[in-house]
Every structure is written in structure tokens, then in C-alpha cells.
Amino acid sequence: MEWQIPKDTYFNLDLLNRTYMNAKKHRQIILQELQHYIDCAMPGMDKELHSLNLNTKKDFMLDFVEKFWHRDKIVNMTEAEFTEVFTAWAKEKGYRPGKGKAAKIYAIAKSCIPYYPANPTVKTILQCIVDKLSGVNRTLVTIVTQMIEEAKKLPEYQIVREMPGVGDPLAARSFGSAGDIRRFKNSKALVAYAGIDSPPDESGDFSSTHRHITKKGSKVFRDTGYEIMMALRAQKRTWEKVRKNPDVYDYMLRKEAEGKPPKVAKIAALNKFLRIIYARIKELYDNMALAERAKTKTRSKTRAKTKVTA
């Protein structure tokens, strides 16, 4: 009997991923509201503030704006005083920005001209935005944590997790959007499901020389794959995962060196990534099936010998 995955695993991942995508859309609306506030209270500061990181479960932008909610809260201190306060706050929150980060933030605050005044009404509005965004952040973290727990039940999880650019959240989300990869008859079908395959280059009297991807597959799966490629491209050749498995990373760099736009190079690398993943997962399950058949055959022989002896 071939080993079977608990039947609810892929269903649960799909359901969690749909809920995650809905919450993410809601978060984007609130995040735009917060970014508008930043533009009015401390213009230009968003360049130094990164948002929610699902790996660390921290939101630097949200935490920073809640503490230093207006440009005046920064410039009312000297640069040395702000650096001291900022460093202590960062340490308390679990961040590790150095003095250079504090200097950049102070310089932006010093040079910007805010539209919103630093009064209680503005502070109340900010607190409402912070409360809304904090709630959605907690929802996203809860969903992703549950997705990771479900995804770890899959034998192929570790294969995907060990690929460069793939952390626990992205690995779990990839299974939530792709489902059971074994249902695709070959790697081309998986690539087509992602919608990154090329359409036919000829149709009747039409012949194309510049073809775009079809985008006929799952947008969620395609977007998740693109996030993986962005994370991979941000790494260096010396990164341990890249050193152990450099194929996709080197392929992306080679495409860029050929003059391909960065986005095109990432899509080409994602195509290669999916083909590698498909081949490795198929090999994994083929080996598991062979091992299971061998065990069954051994048990049958053992039972047969027992009957003869009896």
C-alpha cells in the first residue's frame, strides 16, 4: 500500500491560503492609509521603514510610527539624544539598527516639511490606524503559523524549504497555492499552472518574435513564486543555501548578464525553479513507493514462510 498524506492537509493549506490572501488585501488597504499618514506627518520617512516580516513576525514601520508618530517628536531632540532614544527603543523591540540608521532618520525628519500638525487629533487618528494594522498583522501571523504546521506534514516540504530563497512562510504558501504537485502529469503542466509558460509562436498567418507569459494559471501561485525569486535575488553567492544549490541563482544572473530585464530574468528563473522542484518531488514519491512495495513484498514472504513452517 503506497504511503498516503492525511487527506485534509492539502485542503487545509488551500483554505488557509485563501484566508491569508483575503487578509493580505485588507492589510494593503490599511497600509496605504498608514503610508498616507507618514507622507503627511513625516514626508520621505517611508524609505527607511520596512513593513511586516513574516519570518521575524515584526513590523518595523508600525512600531516606529507608533513611537515616533510625528516629525516633531524627532527634531525636538538633538541628533545625539534621538540616537540614544532610538537605539534603546530598537533594542527593546528586538531590532538591531545601528547609529547609521538613526542618523538617516534624523536627517529626513530635519529636512522634511510636514502637512499634519503634531496635535492630539492627529495622534488619535494614527492610533486608530495602528490598532487596525496590528490586528490584521496578528491575523496574518496566526494564519501563516498554522500553514507552516500543516505544510510540515508533507514529505516534500523539506525539499522546497531547502531551496534558496524559500523560508518557512513562502514554502507553506507555495503548497497552499499549488496543492499536490503530483497531480500534474509533468513539469510543463506545473509551469503552465503558474501561468509563466509562453504561448504558441505561430497561429495561422501570425508569427510572434516577442512573446509574453500566458498568465492563464493561478495568479496566487505565480505571485508566490515571484516572491521567492525576489528573495533569492536579494541573496549573495556566498549564502549557504545558494552555495549548495546554485542552479536557479546562477541562471537568473546569467539571464540578467544577457541583457534581460530583471523581471524577465526572475520569471525565467522561476520556470527553472518549478521544473527542479517537480523533478525532486516526483523522485521522492517514486522512491517512497518503491520502498513501500519492497516492505510489502518482504512481509508477504515472511507470512508465506510462517505458513510453510506451521
DSSP per position, the chain: ------THHHHHHHHHHHHHHHHHHHHHHHHHHHHHHHHHHSTTGGGG---EETTTTEEHHHHHHHHS-SHHHHHTS-HHHHHHHHHHHHHHHT----HHHHHHHHHHHHH---SS-SSHHHHHHHHHHHHHHHHHHHHHHHHHHHHHHHHTTSTTHHHHHTSTT--HHHHHHHHHHH--GGGSSSHHHHHHHHT-SPPPSEETTEE-SS------S-HHHHHHHHHHHHHHHTS-TTSHHHHHS-HHHHHHHHHHHTT--HHHHHHHHHHHHHHHHHHHHHHHHHHHHHHHHHHHHHHHHHHHHHHHH-
Average pLDDT, the chain: 87
What pLDDT, on the 0 to 100 scale, is given for residue 141?
94
pLDDT in tens, 6-15: 568 889 999 9
pLDDT in tens, 66-88: 999 999 999 999 999 999 999 99
pLDDT band at 3 (very low <50, low <70, confident <90, very high): very low
pLDDT band at 5 (very low <50, low <70, confident <90, very high): low
What pLDDT, on the 0 to 100 scale, is given for residue 206?
42
What pLDDT, on the 0 to 100 scale, is given for residue 63?
94
The pTM of this model reads 0.81
What pLDDT, on the 0 to 100 scale, is given for residue 241?
86
Q: Which whole number is the average pLDDT over 33-58?
A: 92
What pLDDT, on the 0 to 100 scale, is given for residue 244?
86
Enumerate the domain spans of the chain: 8-151, 157-198+211-301
Q: Domain 8-151 falls in which CATH fold?
A: Helix Hairpins (1.10.287)
**From 33-37, 143-147, 155-159, 304-308, the region with the lowest mean pLDDT:** 304-308
Q: What percent of the chain has pLDDT over 70?
A: 89
What pLDDT, on the 0 to 100 scale, is given for residue 182?
87
Best-predicted range by mean pLDDT (111-120, 208-217, 285-294): 111-120
What pLDDT, on the 0 to 100 scale, is given for residue 1?
40
pLDDT in tens, 191-249: 999 888 776 555 444 444 455 666 777 888 999 999 999 999 988 888 888 888 899 99
